[in-house]
Structure 1
Amino acid sequence: MASRWLRPEVYPLFVAVGAAVGICGFSMVRHICINPEVRVSKENRAAGVLDNFAEGEKYQEHMLRKFVRNKSPEIMPGINSFFADPAK
Protein backbone atom coordinates (compact mmCIF):
# COMPACT_ATOMS: atom_id res chain seq x y z
CA MET A 1 0.00 0.00 0.00
CA ALA A 2 2.81 2.45 0.85
CA SER A 3 4.56 1.75 -2.45
CA ARG A 4 1.45 2.92 -4.29
CA TRP A 5 1.59 6.45 -2.76
CA LEU A 6 5.32 6.91 -2.37
CA ARG A 7 6.27 6.80 -6.02
CA PRO A 8 8.68 9.46 -7.27
CA GLU A 9 5.96 10.96 -9.48
CA VAL A 10 3.96 11.92 -6.38
CA TYR A 11 6.74 13.92 -4.66
CA PRO A 12 6.01 17.22 -6.50
CA LEU A 13 2.37 16.92 -5.43
CA PHE A 14 3.44 16.44 -1.81
CA VAL A 15 5.71 19.48 -2.06
CA ALA A 16 2.98 21.66 -3.61
CA VAL A 17 0.36 20.60 -1.06
CA GLY A 18 2.87 20.99 1.80
CA ALA A 19 3.78 24.51 0.64
CA ALA A 20 0.11 25.47 0.37
CA VAL A 21 -0.63 24.12 3.85
CA GLY A 22 2.42 25.95 5.22
CA ILE A 23 1.38 29.28 3.68
CA CYS A 24 -2.18 28.87 4.96
CA GLY A 25 -0.93 27.97 8.44
CA PHE A 26 1.42 30.96 8.52
CA SER A 27 -1.36 33.29 7.43
CA MET A 28 -3.80 31.88 9.97
CA VAL A 29 -1.33 32.17 12.86
CA ARG A 30 -0.36 35.70 11.79
CA HIS A 31 -3.97 36.86 11.65
CA ILE A 32 -4.98 35.22 14.93
CA CYS A 33 -1.93 36.33 16.92
CA ILE A 34 -1.09 39.76 15.50
CA ASN A 35 -4.22 41.24 13.89
CA PRO A 36 -5.57 44.05 16.09
CA GLU A 37 -9.18 43.28 15.08
CA VAL A 38 -9.06 39.65 16.22
CA ARG A 39 -9.66 39.15 19.93
CA VAL A 40 -9.35 35.61 21.22
CA SER A 41 -9.54 36.13 24.98
CA LYS A 42 -12.81 36.96 26.68
CA GLU A 43 -11.47 40.16 28.29
CA ASN A 44 -10.39 41.58 24.94
CA ARG A 45 -13.70 40.70 23.29
CA ALA A 46 -15.59 42.54 26.02
CA ALA A 47 -13.72 45.75 25.13
CA GLY A 48 -15.87 46.21 22.02
CA VAL A 49 -14.67 48.24 19.05
CA LEU A 50 -11.38 50.01 19.68
CA ASP A 51 -10.19 52.95 17.59
CA ASN A 52 -6.52 52.11 17.83
CA PHE A 53 -5.27 53.36 14.48
CA ALA A 54 -1.58 53.14 15.39
CA GLU A 55 -1.80 49.40 16.04
CA GLY A 56 -3.71 48.87 12.79
CA GLU A 57 -1.14 50.88 10.84
CA LYS A 58 1.67 48.83 12.40
CA TYR A 59 -0.09 45.59 11.39
CA GLN A 60 -0.74 46.77 7.84
CA GLU A 61 2.74 48.17 7.15
CA HIS A 62 4.74 45.00 7.76
CA MET A 63 8.36 44.46 6.65
CA LEU A 64 7.55 42.81 3.31
CA ARG A 65 5.28 45.67 2.29
CA LYS A 66 7.94 48.23 3.26
CA PHE A 67 10.54 46.28 1.27
CA VAL A 68 8.54 46.12 -1.99
CA ARG A 69 7.00 49.59 -1.79
CA ASN A 70 9.45 51.32 -4.16
CA LYS A 71 10.31 48.24 -6.23
CA SER A 72 9.19 47.65 -9.79
CA PRO A 73 6.15 45.34 -9.98
CA GLU A 74 8.03 42.88 -12.19
CA ILE A 75 9.21 39.42 -11.31
CA MET A 76 12.32 39.50 -13.52
CA PRO A 77 13.00 43.14 -14.45
CA GLY A 78 16.34 42.34 -16.13
CA ILE A 79 14.79 39.86 -18.56
CA ASN A 80 11.77 42.09 -19.14
CA SER A 81 13.91 45.09 -20.01
CA PHE A 82 16.11 42.94 -22.27
CA PHE A 83 13.14 41.86 -24.38
CA ALA A 84 10.99 45.00 -24.14
CA ASP A 85 13.41 47.94 -24.26
CA PRO A 86 14.97 48.91 -27.57
CA ALA A 87 18.65 48.26 -28.11
CA LYS A 88 20.92 51.07 -26.97
Structure 2
Amino acid sequence: MGRWLKPDVYPLIGAMSLVTGMCAFQLVRNVLLNPDVRISKSNRQSAVLENAEEGEKYSQHAFRRFVSAHRPEVFPAINRFFSESGSK
Protein backbone atom coordinates (compact mmCIF):
# COMPACT_ATOMS: atom_id res chain seq x y z
CA MET A 1 0.00 0.00 0.00
CA GLY A 2 2.93 2.32 0.68
CA ARG A 3 4.03 2.52 -2.93
CA TRP A 4 0.50 3.34 -4.14
CA LEU A 5 -0.05 6.24 -1.75
CA LYS A 6 2.47 8.95 -2.60
CA PRO A 7 2.77 12.27 -0.70
CA ASP A 8 1.87 14.14 -3.89
CA VAL A 9 -1.64 12.72 -3.66
CA TYR A 10 -2.38 13.88 -0.07
CA PRO A 11 -3.81 17.30 -1.07
CA LEU A 12 -6.08 15.61 -3.61
CA ILE A 13 -7.27 13.12 -1.01
CA GLY A 14 -7.91 15.96 1.44
CA ALA A 15 -9.86 18.00 -1.11
CA MET A 16 -11.95 15.04 -2.23
CA SER A 17 -12.67 14.09 1.39
CA LEU A 18 -13.83 17.63 2.13
CA VAL A 19 -16.11 17.72 -0.92
CA THR A 20 -17.52 14.27 -0.16
CA GLY A 21 -18.21 15.33 3.43
CA MET A 22 -19.98 18.49 2.26
CA CYS A 23 -22.15 16.49 -0.14
CA ALA A 24 -23.02 13.96 2.55
CA PHE A 25 -23.88 16.77 4.99
CA GLN A 26 -26.21 18.42 2.47
CA LEU A 27 -27.93 15.14 1.60
CA VAL A 28 -28.50 14.25 5.26
CA ARG A 29 -29.70 17.80 6.01
CA ASN A 30 -32.21 17.67 3.16
CA VAL A 31 -33.53 14.24 4.09
CA LEU A 32 -33.94 15.05 7.77
CA LEU A 33 -34.96 18.72 7.76
CA ASN A 34 -36.45 19.65 4.38
CA PRO A 35 -40.24 20.06 4.68
CA ASP A 36 -40.76 18.92 1.07
CA VAL A 37 -39.12 15.53 1.63
CA ARG A 38 -41.63 13.02 2.93
CA ILE A 39 -40.19 9.76 4.15
CA SER A 40 -43.06 8.34 6.19
CA LYS A 41 -46.05 6.92 4.36
CA SER A 42 -48.57 9.03 6.25
CA ASN A 43 -46.96 12.24 4.99
CA ARG A 44 -46.77 10.99 1.41
CA GLN A 45 -50.53 10.41 1.18
CA SER A 46 -51.36 14.11 1.02
CA ALA A 47 -50.43 15.80 -2.24
CA VAL A 48 -50.02 19.30 -0.77
CA LEU A 49 -48.87 19.90 2.77
CA GLU A 50 -49.89 22.99 4.66
CA ASN A 51 -46.47 23.67 6.17
CA ALA A 52 -45.62 27.25 5.30
CA GLU A 53 -44.15 28.00 8.74
CA GLU A 54 -41.97 24.89 8.58
CA GLY A 55 -40.70 25.91 5.14
CA GLU A 56 -39.99 29.43 6.39
CA LYS A 57 -38.03 28.01 9.32
CA TYR A 58 -36.07 25.73 6.94
CA SER A 59 -35.20 28.46 4.45
CA GLN A 60 -34.36 31.18 7.01
CA HIS A 61 -31.92 29.19 9.12
CA ALA A 62 -29.55 30.71 11.68
CA PHE A 63 -26.58 31.09 9.33
CA ARG A 64 -28.65 32.92 6.71
CA ARG A 65 -30.03 35.28 9.37
CA PHE A 66 -26.47 35.93 10.61
CA VAL A 67 -25.15 36.67 7.11
CA SER A 68 -28.09 38.92 6.18
CA ALA A 69 -27.33 41.18 9.16
CA HIS A 70 -23.82 41.97 7.87
CA ARG A 71 -22.68 43.99 4.88
CA PRO A 72 -21.21 41.97 1.98
CA GLU A 73 -17.58 42.99 2.49
CA VAL A 74 -14.50 40.85 2.48
CA PHE A 75 -12.34 43.12 4.66
CA PRO A 76 -14.64 45.62 6.42
CA ALA A 77 -11.86 47.14 8.56
CA ILE A 78 -9.69 47.88 5.52
CA ASN A 79 -12.68 49.28 3.62
CA ARG A 80 -13.54 51.58 6.52
CA PHE A 81 -9.90 52.69 6.84
CA PHE A 82 -9.59 53.71 3.20
CA SER A 83 -13.06 55.23 2.87
CA GLU A 84 -12.85 57.31 6.08
CA SER A 85 -9.27 58.53 5.62
CA GLY A 86 -9.99 60.04 2.19
CA SER A 87 -12.94 62.12 3.42
CA LYS A 88 -10.95 64.01 6.10
TM-score, normalization: structure 2? Answer: 0.82
Paired amino acid for 2:35? P
* Unaligned 5+ runs, structure 2: none
- SS state of the match for residue 3, structure 1? coil
- Change over 3 Å in CA distance of 1:67–1:16 after alignment to 2: same
Aligned residue pairs total 86
Q: CA deviation at 1:37?
A: 0.6
Q: Which structure would you say has the larger RCO, counting Cα contacts within 8 Å and 6 or more residues apart?
A: 2
- Letter in structure 2 aligned against 1:15: G
Unaligned runs of 5+ in 1: none
> Aligned partners of 1:87 and 1:12: how far apart in 2?
42
Residues 1:78 and 2:69 aligned together? no
Match of 1:54 in 2: 53
The 4+ residue runs of structure 1 with deviation greater than 4 A are none
The structural deviation recorded for 1:77 is 3.0
Matching residue of 1:11: 10
Report the identity percentage: 44
| TM-score with structure 1 setting the length | 0.82
